[in-house]
Amino acid sequence: MPAAHAVSSLHLQINVTWRGRVPDIPLDLPSDAIALYGCEGVSEACLTLQERVQLDVNVLLFAAWMGVRLARSMRPQDIEEAAIQIRQWHREIVLPLRAVRRRLKTGPAPAPNDHTDALRAKVQSVEIAAELVELAQLGQLAHCLGHNASADASETAATNLLHVVQYYGGRPADIEERNAVNVIAAAATGCFS
């Protein structure tokens, strides 16, 4: 997941109409996603869901952001649209960079050593930049996806997140996945409210 220092190079201010008005604060999905990912328990919950249903964590963070920051409920077709919009970038750019970074951790020879560790850090920096591009693209979709939520922010975020899990997993979330969703939704409520 992105590091906070990488945001400045890819900073994107998104003006989104929120309940008929422009918010007083600029909405910045990349920065907000980084803040949320850094909240207690969120990275672990995201990785649990990523491993269990092979989801794109950025779509997950986007769904939480939409629910809490924008008070927008997302339908399953909204999740699908978001996933489709970034799928090619994620598969062809983010995932290969991640694979190289992970491979450099243990090999092939001469890795791991000081030189390959330095290379791994550079690859990680490029991977983070690629994820920030993906988050910025998702942020641009905010104005055209979802509808105004009638539920409270945490409930809206949890429902959005469950739609993400179901989209990627092809089935409803199980209890462990629901627990991970609840951790993210609660953290998003505290982080963005």
Place of tokens 């008929």: 20
Enclosing domain of residue 131: 28-192
> pLDDT tens-digit profile of 26-84?
469 999 999 999 999 999 999 999 999 999 999 999 999 999 999 999 999 999 999 99
Q: Which of 54, 49, 52 is nearest to 64 (CA)?
A: 49
Residue 176 lies in a domain: yes
The pTM is what? 0.85
Residue 161 lies in a domain: yes
The tokens describing 193, both together, are: 């409210």
What angle, rounded to 10 degrees, do the helices at 57-68 and 175-192 form? 50
112: cis peptide before it, omega within 30°? yes
110: cis peptide before it, omega within 30°? yes
Residue 60 lies in a domain: yes
> pLDDT tens-digit profile of 135-174?
999 999 998 999 998 889 999 999 999 999 999 999 999 9
Residue 21 lies in a domain: no
Residue 23 lies in a domain: no
Residue 3 lies in a domain: no
Residue 91 lies in a domain: yes
* pLDDT attached to residue 193: 72
CA distance 12 to 29: 8
The total number of structural domains that make up the chain? 1
CA distance 111 to 175: 39
* pLDDT attached to residue 13: 32
Residue 14 lies in a domain: no
Tell me how far CA of residue 46 lies from CA of 37, 55, 94, 114, in angstroms.
8, 9, 16, 30
